[in-house]
Structure 1
């Protein structure tokens, strides 16, 4: 159970550093290197003599200067793409939970691969199966007559963005919006901007 549950590690200034196993998060608390910020509901780990909370978030006691390393682009995987787009179709706006039983989310190339489009963060978006089939190998400019547009411009997700999206998507912390605000005020967060209609 401890290896399969995840824990977000925050810097002393509430900046996200990484996502680790809950076991590692608990170890940081026991070693006195971190404090518990949030725990899993009814999540406890018992030893023969003590009972410990199962952490979803820990904050380091000492500041670690590793922020530039967090600006390394995250690996472009299906999961990371869906996290960046918050499991939402970038064409129709439906979320994964809103899809019918036989529908699912897919990766769509804005400039289709058949037309030389690259598999890169700025050329792929999350799309439901229906929208991906409608778009097919067309360019968005060729579909303007049916008002086919993107909800937001795609950005290159990096490690810090991925951690924040992970926190938000898992509802790890009711203070996640506050952490997002602190992170954005520090100039380290590049929020996706919705397109103007």
Structure 2
């Protein structure tokens, strides 16, 4: 079994704490206590709390992107677009604090549309754009700006999740999941060629 480095232990402890209690619970002292080191020892690996949060956020994006890449293998573009909606929903429901931090909370380092997304700086959005581009090239989707279409799909997904998490649906989780997928299907039907 491979021993974890101190930086890996810090990240693991910070991840657990953040996942359970959210951004405000993540203090260097609490992370240090969980790892069994002094708070000052953390600064050898992360210069400040913001750097630790950025790393957690980057890890979150990469985990979602990895799942999207794995789901983006179907040769059927429409099925692929629908399947890409699931990991986003699953991540939001399973890890609400990380989801909010990565996708909803204002942050100085957050990617901005259109410049950062058109430049390919979002590992999650890139997968969606590539699928939309392929759909347009194959004539499955209407020709349009693939970045704008991808943003419309993402905004639709995100908006539904935000409304659900905000208590704006009377559905239980299973009912919401079904509605979410049906709604995504309706949106995709509207952009088919």
TM bracket (short chain) = under 0.3
The alignment's TM-score, normalised by the length of structure 1, stands at: 0.22
The alignment's TM-score, normalised by the length of structure 2, stands at: 0.23
Name the structure with the higher strand share.
1
